[in-house]
Amino acid sequence: MATPMTQRQRRGAALFLAPFLTLFSLVTLAPLVYAAWLSLFSEQSSGLGLGGVEREFTGLGNYTRVLSDAEFLHGFLTIAAYVVIYVPVLTLAALAVALLLDSGLAAARRVTQVTLFLPHAVPGLVAALIWLYLYTPGLSPVTDWLGQSAGSAGVATTHPLLSVVNVALWEWLGYNVVIFYAALQAVPREVIEAAALDGVSGLQLALRIKAPLIRPAVSMAALFTVIGGIQLFNEPKILIQASSTITRTWTPNLYTQDAAFNRNDYGTAAAASLLIAGVAAVLSFVVTRLANRRSTA
């Protein structure tokens, strides 16, 4: 039976939790409360705000307007298509590379891990700028090699979704490889040795023993990837300059940014951002429950 905490232990726990709770309140709770307050008003400003601001209480009007906006809803269809392509490709590719590194067949494993992880160390904005250059016809040697002429539409225009998936895959593959490889290192060595003694081939060992044993790590990585997909912003924002098919409302986050800084409609932007957060929270709950069911099955 657990003994109750003493008053001194409670004070010590409160002291250690205070910095986290303070930062959490300042950077998470306070912005959420402010966004919720903004979402209840309709606020329009002209230019840089020098023409004055008109604010009117609308209640749930901003939410109704956002949910009835075809551009906002279409952004979620874009995200759905992005997630359907990106999450399986990233997860399977990272798992395959991690299993290869863990098998001992790959030489210079540490150098390979560092090399794969380096793109993740590059800020997303910088990575998007690099790929903007690589996608621009007439400037990029890649598009010229693929047969794109200077006057053509370019890869980012003809295949915008695949272009964004490619950038995100380049950024996050190494990170997921490191996560999966660390999980593989925690697999009991006696299990692997017993399988080897039973004559299990390397491919069977990877697919039937190692991969199932690290399923929680794979599920958690997939969950975070889905949540990150809902927040897609940097890559399409930069690639707008190289694509005529990526619009200012192509994703929900782009829609929010357009409402706030192009249309100066902060109430609509706040309502849209809270709806996006709600969708991410619900999706996180659903994916977590499904992952827990599979792990206990």
What confidence score (pLDDT) does residue 275 get? 94
204-233: average pLDDT: 86
What confidence score (pLDDT) does residue 51 get? 56
151-174: average pLDDT: 77
What confidence score (pLDDT) does residue 75 get? 93
**Where do the structural domains in the chain lie, given as residue ranges?**
61-296
77 vs 13, more confident: 77
What confidence score (pLDDT) does residue 257 get? 92
182-195: average pLDDT: 84
Q: Best-predicted range by mean pLDDT among 163-167, 192-196, 252-256?
A: 252-256
189-198: average pLDDT: 79
pLDDT surpassing 70 at residue 107: no
pLDDT surpassing 80 at residue 118: no
pLDDT surpassing 80 at residue 218: yes
What confidence score (pLDDT) does residue 297 get? 56
What confidence score (pLDDT) does residue 104 get? 67
Strand partners, 53: 45
What confidence score (pLDDT) does residue 37 get? 93
Give CA separation, 222 vs 45, 84, 102, 268, in Å.
Answer: 41, 11, 20, 31
C-alpha 192/C-alpha 212 separation (Å) is: 13
Q: What percent of the chain has pLDDT over 70?
A: 83
Tell me the residue ranges of DSSP E strands in the chain.
41-45, 53-57
What confidence score (pLDDT) does residue 294 get? 63
C-alpha 174/C-alpha 168 separation (Å) is: 11
- The CATH homologous superfamily of the domain defined by 61-296: MetI-like (1.10.3720.10)
Type of residue numbered 268: T
Q: How confident is the model at residue 94 (pLDDT cuts 50, 70, 90)?
A: very high
Give the 3-state secondary structure of residue 296. helix
pLDDT surpassing 70 at residue 263: yes
pLDDT surpassing 70 at residue 89: yes
Q: Is 100 exposed, middle or buried (0-12, 13-18, 19+ CB in 10 A)?
A: middle
pLDDT surpassing 80 at residue 108: no
Strands 53-57 and 41-45: antiparallel
Q: How confident is the model at residue 151 (pLDDT cuts 50, 70, 90)?
A: very low
Q: What token pair was written down for 215? A: 């399923």
Give the 3-state secondary structure of residue 1. coil
223-232: average pLDDT: 87
287 vs 30, more confident: 30
